[in-house]
Amino acid sequence: MRLLTAVVFVPLLLALLFVGPAWGFYLLVAAATAVGASELFAMTHPGDRVAQGIGVALTAGVSAAVYFATQDARVLLAVFLAVPVVGVLLPLWRLGQIETAGLRIMANVAAPLYLGALFCTIALLRRDMGADGPRWVVMTLTFAWLADTGGYFAGRFLGKNKLYEKVSPKKTREGFYGALGGATLGAVVASLWYLPSIPISHAVPLAIFAGALGQMGDLVESLLKRSTGIKDSGWIVPGHGGLLDRVDALLIVSPIVYLYTVFR
């Protein structure tokens, strides 16, 4: 099922990246953001569909503001101030259990930024990097996905020492180093083949840094699931669990790569 999902999804993603307009790719990112937000708020606000819907709407609003109002500081400021205000006030209306109110308040404030702002940066790469935009996106995806692949195989065949057992019992230090190797491979291929505009002396350190923090992003999602008693964040990606399970590292890798392009 995992292979079938990849065979169907990857060609569609590449076609949208290289053939479709930049805003078309953003629509895909926006849809994925909404799905991820619905999964996250289902974990933090179980049983409260109204609060979950408001959380998804706040996340979508942040995503749209980051993409469409990048050059308008007033709009961005308004959105980034309105989200925390709504987030902290919402539990007064949707009270629920007092014991979980703190978690829900923080989720209302943080989740729209975590998903809406961070995930949008991959669409900004596609739009802002001109003709090379699709290639920057591909490189970013390989940093996350090859790291995941390298970590899986290194952990499975070489893993002996636990990385952070209380958060993710299956992750090992050897898997972490394998993830860095996978991300580095992605950087070398990008620099020497399809994205020569980034020198290998930049690509490799960027891959190692982004790959390492991407693994931490994976641990963050594991911590969220364990703290809320959830095994998989959802079911929408056949053979892979929820969408959050697939993009947790990308949520960290993408803004790192985008910031590199802004400040390089």
Q: What does the pLDDT look like over 5-22, one tens digit per residue?
A: 555 677 888 888 999 899
pLDDT confidence of 242, banded at 50, 70, 90?
A: confident
Under DSSP, is residue 172 helix (H, G, I), strand (E, B) or coil? strand
Instruction: Say if CB 237 and CB 230 are below 8 A apart.
Output: no
pLDDT at residue number 1: 44
What is the domain partition of the chain in residue ranges? 21-128, 131-264
Mean of pLDDT values over 161-175: 93
pLDDT at residue number 10: 78
Which of 240, 107, 227, 214 shows the shortest CA–CA distance to 166? 227
pTM over 0.85: yes
Mean of pLDDT values over 178-194: 97
Which of 124, 121, 131, 134 shows the shortest CA–CA distance to 210? 121
Q: Is residue 228's pLDDT more than 70?
A: yes
Cα 59–134–217 angle (5° rounding)? 45
Instruction: Say if CB 154 and CB 215 are below 8 A apart.
Output: no
pLDDT at residue number 150: 94
pLDDT at residue number 27: 96
CA distance 55 to 48: 11
Q: Lowest mean pLDDT of 33-37, 108-112, 152-156, 225-229, name the range.
A: 225-229
Cα 26–148–38 angle (5° rounding)? 45
Mean of pLDDT values over 171-189: 96
